[in-house]
Amino acid sequence: MENIIRIAVQKSGRLSEDSLSLIKECGIKFYNGTGKLKSTSTNFPIEFLFLRDDDIPGYVADGVADLGIVGENELVEKNKEVLVLKKLGFSKCRLSLAIPKGEEYPGLEYFEGKNIATSYPKILGDYLKANKIQAEIHEISGSVEIAPSIGLAEGICDIVSSGSTLMMNGLKEVEEIFRSEAALISHPNMSVAKKAIVDKLLFRMNAVQKGKSSKYVLLNAPNDSLEKIVSLIPGMRSPTILPLAQNGWSSVHSVLSEDQFWENIEELRAAGAEGILVVPIEKMIL
């Protein structure tokens, strides 16, 4: 189908929720009812495939799907021939080594000659090889945390978000080996027509994400402080300055990244800025 693109998205879980939320914020309408495995947008040339996350790299590499949203952990583990178009900044986690919390941990040499259970044998194997550690890797598909307590392995390598699951299973994190976030991937050989649709989707995604990381700032300032204040909030091109009814004062409007705002807030106040308002931005087109 040359006039429509297919995107593979995880069918359930946090990554799925974040992915679909981003797509909806791009103004793309679709129905994804419970148990639905395929859906077509009503206002954008895109079809959705709802799949297991570990199947997504393969579907995109084989050209069944043109695009996919997947965690970098699955992308690297599956090692398929795809292109990474954009890191998406959500579903962040880490892949770490963990051992029973009562064990002493002298360093990575702890794992020399030991057994490690994991669902990520490639990432773990590459890490151990790079650090010249000889260990036996036991690949299991789920419930990795139980492996030490049943005698299958002395340690595990698994995805960690908060660390609470490790604690509940009597484990402690000892080495971080890989950091992951969601990424938009594509088949390496799309047609010109499909690339044009993907460009439109990327434009929308960039506008949404740029808006999320930026704030619209309004403040009042004495005119003799405007030069200093403008240097602190330069905006996309330059701030808008409007005179107030009160002589000698102006209203300054600008756009800043949230980090920039918090870095400069004290200097803005010291320069005489008052009545500072910070407003979220839904989308921002540059």
Contact 122, 79 (CB under 8 A): yes
Q: Tell me, what's the pLDDT at 212?
A: 84
**Terminal C-alpha separation, the chain:** 31
Residues 154, 160: Cα–Cα separation, whole Å:
18
pLDDT in tens, the chain (286 residues): 458 999 999 998 889 999 999 999 999 999 877 677 899 999 999 999 999 999 999 999 999 999 999 999 999 999 999 999 999 999 999 999 999 999 999 999 999 999 999 999 999 999 999 999 999 999 998 889 999 999 999 999 999 877 788 989 999 999 999 999 999 999 999 999 999 999 999 999 999 988 888 889 999 999 999 999 998 888 778 899 999 999 999 999 999 888 888 888 888 999 999 999 999 888 888 7
Cα torsion for 25, 29, 193, 200, to the nearest 10°? Answer: -20
Neighbouring C-alpha atoms within 13 Å toward the C-beta of 32: 22
Q: Tell me, what's the pLDDT at 210?
A: 86
The two tokens of residue 256 are 């800043």
**What are the chain's domains?**
5-90+181-211 (3.40.190.10), 93-180 (3.40.190.10), 214-280 (3.30.70.120)
Contact 100, 156 (CB under 8 A): no
Task: Please provide the size of the chain in residues.
Answer: 286
Contacts of 245 (CB under 8 A, 6+ apart): none
- SS3 of the chain: the string is CCCCEEEEEECCCHHHHHHHHHHHHCCCCCCCCCCCCEEECCCCCEEEEEECHHHHHHHHHCCCCCEEEEEHHHHHHHCCCCEEEEECCCCCEEEEEEEECCCCCCCHHHHCCCEEEECCHHHHHHHHHHCCCCCEEEECCCCHHHCHHHCCCCEEEEEECCCHHHHHCCEEEEEEEEEECEEEEECCCCCHHHHHHHHHHHHHHHHHHHHHCEEEEEEEEEHHHHHHHHHHCCCCCCCEEEECCCCCEEEEEEEEEHHHHHHHHHHHHHCCCEEEEEEECCCCCC
Q: Tell me, what's the pLDDT at 1?
A: 47
